[in-house]
Amino acid sequence: MRAIFLDRDGVICKNKSDHVKSWDEFEFLPGAKASLNTLSMLGLPIVIVTNQAVVNRGMASAEAIEDIHNRMVSEITAAGGRIDRVLYCPHRPDEHCDCRKPEPGMLLQAAQELDIDLKNSYMVGDAATDIVAGQRVGCSTFMVLTGRGLQQLVHAFRTARNTFTITRNLTGAANQILKNELQLTGAGELWQLYSENYHQSIPFTVK
């Protein structure tokens, strides 16, 4: 089974310079809920994989992070979308764990728990670490220009192993993933109908 992996900050919610430490500081990016609704139509598992070193830095408790995720999932569900699993890494970079992106530990964990075929899955993020983590396990990778995307582009070019796709935001990535999936299933006419009624940015590919 294929899956869709999403980073959280900068993809679904706004980045904050001092991090998102409570639900009061969480703010959905424009179009994020609608994009998750679109992705939910595909029936593929949707998994959030996010670095949250604020826990081991003592800036937020594990309970606070889990509360953020529970509320986030509830709002997404209420808006017609779906999140199947939320995985986060609480470690600081100096702890050298195997789950903090760019390490692919969270993706490997999800693959084991949900029986996911990583080489035919998707990873969407706003940082070079997201792209590298996805490519290490063979995912098709998308870099959004929201969050840290613009600032991370050069670093992503330097560190990515393979081609990745750049989109303006999660909406662009969702549209491209939808198009890919419809083509895989031979439902190109459905994509044509969808695209005629859902005008968003057109992604482009870089090497």
Work out the burial of residue 94: count CB atoms within 10 Å of its CB; fewer than 13 is exposed, 13-18 middle, 19 or more buried: exposed
- Catalytic residue flag (residue 9): yes
> Tens digits of per-residue pLDDT, 129-141?
999 999 999 999 9
Tell me the CATH number at 149. Answer: 3.40.50.1000
Q: Which of 9, 24, 84, 115 is catalytic?
A: 9
Whole domain around residue 105: which residue ranges?
A: 4-206
- Catalytic residue flag (residue 7): yes
Q: What H or E segment, with its residue span, contains residue 125?
A: strand 122-125
Q: Which of 7, 67, 94, 98 is catalytic?
A: 7
Determine how β-strand 140-144 pairs with β-strand 4-6. Answer: unpaired
Tally of structural domains, the chain: 1
> Tens digits of per-residue pLDDT, 137-171?
999 999 999 999 999 999 999 999 899 999 999 99
The pair phi, psi for residue 133, each rounded to 5°, is -60, -45
> Tens digits of per-residue pLDDT, 57-83?
999 999 999 999 999 999 999 999 999
Model confidence, pTM = 0.90
Nearest-angstrom CA–CA distance, 123 and 185: 20
